[in-house]
Structure 1
């Protein structure tokens, strides 16, 4: 039995014939609608629906000099991508926001020099129209000047240290959030408050430690400060350091929830109780805050809104608007750990 012939895919000429306009008018509608009357635009739109015509993305990119895709550039290792739930939330949020404009999202890793080189060549080679930069470590930003010189729009998640005036960003209010958490720990009667700070080559790590110091003022004790890299193991290790140097602490503000979960493990391994002996406050309100007992009191970063605003600012920059930046407030979420 002979199979029926394949149905011919509608062409731009079919759309023009149904709409009663020229092929050039259809092309102009497809590339932005410039110099097309409202009536003609409406006719073309109706003809596209009637014929089932779909834009060939490769042809459109050639016609508009646009790649019609955006890069999600993560300056972390693959292990951190899968260990830290925040990255998955940001990736999903950005992908969902871009899908509304029918724009694919391309994940690029830049956790080491070789990956940074490949990512830079890909981005500056015209394969994407813009970049969403996530987890920008100050020592892993050698690619940013090249991206900037190439004129590729970029928006950072968090303040891009050293590039604040060149690259737009969307950031949580890390400083005020840290202040509020420390203030809360003091309000529940804790007087010897330590901290496990995040990496000091990121804006979040710096700002949260600065907020801790600012809120405590003259009560800051350097032996009550330890450092981690935002990973679970580093939170556990840093908490053991604190307990050795300052065994009398009765609360700890931890730079993110994943490290806070590690800190709780360290505290409980010494026979101390959370929150009875040591109250623990985290930051992010990520899934790690709920993944275990006790649940973690934390500062909520609205990651879905952050990713949506990053996409909005990036699409505006791609359209030619001036680079912009915004800071979003955090919110205290009280749970069992404090």
Structure 2
């Protein structure tokens, strides 16, 4: 098997430490994703793990530490949106990669209905995961409050609406990002600008609308506002309703790329050209924006940074820390639709 252990014996942490030339405590910290390990020592330990063929006994470690060595990726949306909205897949991939570096696992959970929420609560309260990455939050959904009340380490993407100041969050500045996109559209000479945004009980839905309204100022027209779920079909239906009320629209800011794609489909069905007749901008830069025909102007969220920061933060909470909220920057990406 290797040169550091006897035949038939599984390599131990002490074998790894001997091969790496470090203490077994240092090896333990590397394996458990701990801090205070120098890059040189970490690399030596990782090489020694490969050389010795060491694998952690997760069952024994769970009994010893009282931890499951896993986190929940919790989506409080209908199941089909996990596949229809690429932003969730980006967050899921990023979280999985961040945990793989720590030899931890990720448990995917969906809790849209009351029955699903009850099942999630039972599972999490039973200690099957050490913490929760809450990927979406609705003000009307009681699950976040239940997790916090139960003392479950939880970190949210986006700042939850309502009295949730004590919940650690990783977010972007929804309002300022929407203002920046609206300024860009106005700077291109557009004046009849409509907005299609998400549900008002979600951070993105509410704050992106607020940013749009603030930046439009006296040009804001409530008849040019549509709110719906984040989906292509919803974006198309919202665009059709807007065109009925205001056929002179010359630009649309859709608060997600999937909504923007739906809006473009509706504009094409109405005989409008994008961007010649109506400019369209999205939000997310989820991969869909770059591959769409024509490529979509959008606000880029730093998906990988969001995922890794959430994992870091929930592990800090598990360790007894109280991390400060983190706000990450977005980037305006100009392509062909606006």
TM-score normalized by the length of structure 2? 0.86
Q: Which residue of 2 aligns with 1:22?
A: none
Deviation string for 1:86-109 (max 9, x for gaps)?
A: 000000001101111111011011
TM superposition shift of 1:148: 1.4
Whether the 8 Å CA contact 1:158–1:169 is kept in 2: the answer is yes
Whether the 8 Å CA contact 1:156–1:168 is kept in 2: the answer is yes
Helix, strand or coil at the partner of 2:61:
helix
Aligned position for 1:116: 117
Aligned to 1:169: 169
| Structure 1 equivalent of residue 214 of structure 2 | 214
Per the TM alignment, residue 53 of structure 1 is displaced from its structure 2 partner at its CA by 4.2
Pair 1:316 & 2:316 matched = yes
> 2:105, 2:231 → 1: CA distance?
29
- Deviation at 1:292? 2.6
Offset at residue 290 of structure 1 (A)? 2.5
Alignment of 1:138-177 (within 5 A): 138-140=139-141, 142-177=142-177
- Stretches of structure 1 that go unaligned for 5 or more consecutive residues are 1-6, 20-24, 33-40
Counterpart contact for 2:301–2:331, Cα < 8 Å: yes
Q: CA separation in 2, counterparts of 1:96 and 1:301?
A: 18
CA offsets, 1:156-211, max 9 Å, x none?
01112225312111111111111011111111111111111111111011110000
3-state SS of the aligned residue for 1:316? Answer: helix
2:126 aligned counterpart, secondary structure: helix
Query: Distance in 1 between the 2:10 and 2:147 partners?
Result: 38
Structure 1, 204-213 or 149-158: larger mean CA deviation: 149-158
Helix, strand or coil: the match of 1:127? coil
Residue in 2 that maps onto 1:182: 182
Q: Indicate how the Cα distance of structure 1 residues 86 and 48 shifts in structure 2: closer, same or farther if over 3 A, else same.
A: closer
How far apart, CA to CA, are the structure 2 residues paired with 1:223 and 1:51? 67
Paired residue for 1:287? 287
CA distance in 1, matches of 2:112, 2:182: 32
Deviations 1:249-293 (A, max 9, x none): 111111101000000011111111111111111100112213331
The answer (yes or no) to whether the contact 2:295–2:337 under 8 Å persists in 1 is yes
1:108 is paired with a residue of what secondary structure? strand
Aligned partners of 1:97 and 1:86: how far apart in 2?
17
The corresponding residue for 1:56 is 57
Q: CA deviation at 1:227?
A: 1.5
Residue aligned with 1:253, SS? strand
Say yes or no: does 1:334 pair with 2:330: no
- Runs ≥4 residues deviating over 3 A: 25-32, 45-53
Deviations 1:66-99 (A, max 9, x none): 1110000011122100000000000000110111
Q: In the alignment, is the contact (CA less than 8 A) between 1:250 and 1:278 conserved in 2?
A: yes
Distance 2:110 2:297 in 1: 31
Q: Distance in 1 between matches of 2:185 and 2:238?
A: 19
Secondary structure at 1:138's aligned position in 2? coil
- CA distance 1:248–1:170, shift in 2 (3 Å): same
List aligned pairs for 1:232-251, cutoff 5 A.
Answer: 232-251=232-251
CA contact (8 A) 2:205 2:227 kept: no
Task: State the 1:317 CA deviation.
Answer: 1.1
Distance 1:98 1:318 in 2: 14
Q: In the alignment, what sits opposite 1:223?
A: 223
Alignment correspondent of 2:135: 134
Give the CA deviation at 1:55. 2.4
Question: Which digits, 9 at most, give the CA deviation of each residue in 1:3-38, with x for residues without a partner?
Answer: xxxx634276x958x97xxxxx97997487xxxxxx
Q: Would you say 1:79 and 2:80 are equivalent positions?
A: yes
Q: CA deviation at 1:149?
A: 2.5
Contact preservation (8 Å) 1:93, 1:304: yes
* 1:314 Cα deviation from its structure 2 partner: 1.0
- After TM superposition, the score normalised by the length of structure 1 is 0.86
Rounded Cα–Cα distance in structure 2 between residues aligned with 1:190 and 1:242: 16
